[in-house]
Chain A
């Protein structure tokens, strides 16, 4: 009887059922060569275990420990998807009207909108505090006529004018990536440097809607990283974008992000939707 190498390997790894084990054990008794092959698989496993055991004793960097232990600071509660909040608010208004007519009780939608509303207020409050030192009267984000949050001041200027490929390390707004969203709007992700730049920054995504940059999402608590030394180091920039923002972009993006030439061309057209 011949036994395949994969079966012997599975035996050495403890993956066979009782019948399989019995068959291999019998073959090992009959044929010393089989026993030798099994021993070789076990020895390799051992050797790997020993060689890689040492790494487990290395101290874990503080930033990783903090990522878990301070996670209350990075919880979903300081991420606001503003588009969802607006949709919830519209649903709630509709439900309110319906509710008044039918005398029905308040809906869950309304509750969840209230919660979202207070979270959004918290983020804005954070912005207000964090950006107090911005030029007075020039908060980076304000509430537009329709109630939506829109970029203002230096943020609006950077969104319209700054190319991701050419930006100074010290600028107050860092543009991360520009892309065409499935909605047909051009969107850009940004990070606002906080005055003093030692603590958490705020990142977000804004999409050009007519004349305004509508804020799609904001995340606080982005770890501030050293600006890339050269314009070419995208890896540093990539890790500075919070994963939730990357996920949002992955969900929205149509095709590839704009490269330097694409950004420049779309900027000339005022970031207007191609449709």
Chain B
């Protein structure tokens, strides 16, 4: 089989995706170390089933989906093991370290982390990671209408939290 060059290539493509996978995972989990754990689990899962990835599908969408599923499994098993659900409100203000960055950037990030998970993930996939609606809907396993309404609500909430840009500049 001459797939070894191709598979080498996929490995390098995945390496190139790592910064985006980490960023998406942080917005998903709201915790940088959870995020890296999820990325690692997703990498292991993805590499074990590379043959399930169709070449005409986008590698980034496929990987985002595996990261998200890893997080769903993790949240479930934490709930099962600990019998404690992570409180949505306990949203730790993370994703950025405590060193002072520009005020506006901090507020955009903390505003995003305040959104409910559905909206946060929709905004994250479409507006930050740049996926088309169709791809984002597939990552989340929801109809496109559900994706667009989550996205619209997320946007509205962000506008309300952030206000017009010029007031912050």
Which residues of A are in contact with B by a Cβ distance under 8 Å? 5-6, 9-10, 13, 15, 40-41, 43-45, 47-52, 54-58, 60-61, 63-65, 67-69, 71, 74-76, 177, 234-235, 238-239, 242-244, 246, 250, 256-257
Q: CB-CB < 8 A to B14: which residues of A?
A: 68
Q: CB-CB < 8 A to A242: which residues of B?
A: 44
A94 to B41 alpha-carbon distance, docked (Å) = 39
Partner among A40, A45, A61 whose Cβ is within 8 Å of the Cβ of B127: A45
Instruction: Tell whether A6 pairs with B104 under 8 Å between CB atoms, given A13-B126, A67-B44.
Output: no
A243 to B11 alpha-carbon distance, docked (Å) = 19
A70 to chain B, nearest CB (A): 10
**Which residue on A lies nearest to B34, using beta carbons?**
A235
A248 to chain B, nearest CB (A): 12
A-B pairs with beta carbons under 8 Å apart, 23 shown: A6-B148, A13-B127, A13-B133, A45-B127, A48-B112, A48-B127, A51-B105, A55-B19, A60-B19, A61-B36, A64-B22, A64-B43, A67-B43, A67-B44, A68-B14, A71-B11, A71-B43, A74-B47, A74-B48, A238-B74, A238-B77, A243-B70, A257-B80
Q: CB-CB < 8 A to A243: which residues of B?
A: 41, 44-45, 48, 70
Q: Is the CB of B159 within 8 A of A44?
A: yes
A250 to B18 alpha-carbon distance, docked (Å) = 27
A197 to B128 alpha-carbon distance, docked (Å) = 41
Q: CB-CB < 8 A to A49: which residues of B?
A: 127-128
Q: Is the CB of B155 within 8 A of A44?
A: yes
A15 to B152 alpha-carbon distance, docked (Å) = 14
Q: Is the CB of A48 within 8 A of B78?
A: no
Q: Is the CB of A52 within 8 A of B128?
A: yes
Q: CB-CB < 8 A to B74: which residues of A?
A: 238
Q: CB-CB < 8 A to B23: which residues of A?
A: 52, 55-56
B39 within 8 A of A: yes
Q: CB-CB < 8 A to B127: which residues of A?
A: 13, 44-45, 48-49
Q: Mark B131-163, 1 if CB is under 8 A from A, else 0.
A: 011000000000000001101100110110010
B114 within 8 A of A: no
B86 to chain A, nearest CB (A): 11
Q: CB-CB < 8 A to A67: which residues of B?
A: 40, 43-44, 47
Most chain B beta carbons < 10 A, residue from A48, A50, A76 = A48
B165 within 8 A of A: yes
Q: Is the CB of A64 within 8 A of B39?
A: yes
Q: CB-CB < 8 A to A6: which residues of B?
A: 148-149, 152
**Which residue on B lies nearest to A60, using beta carbons?**
B18
Q: Is the CB of B15 within 8 A of A69?
A: yes
A44 to B23 alpha-carbon distance, docked (Å) = 18
Contacts of B40-64 to chain A: CB distance below 8 A? 40-41, 43-45, 47-48
Q: Is the CB of A68 within 8 A of B36?
A: no
**Which residue on B lies nearest to A67, using beta carbons?**
B43
B88 within 8 A of A: no
Q: Is the CB of B78 within 8 A of A235?
A: yes
A-B pairs, top 5 by smallest CB distance, nearest first, are: A51-B108, A67-B43, A56-B19, A71-B47, A60-B18
Q: CB-CB < 8 A to B44: which residues of A?
A: 67, 74, 242-244
Q: CB-CB < 8 A to B45: which residues of A?
A: 243
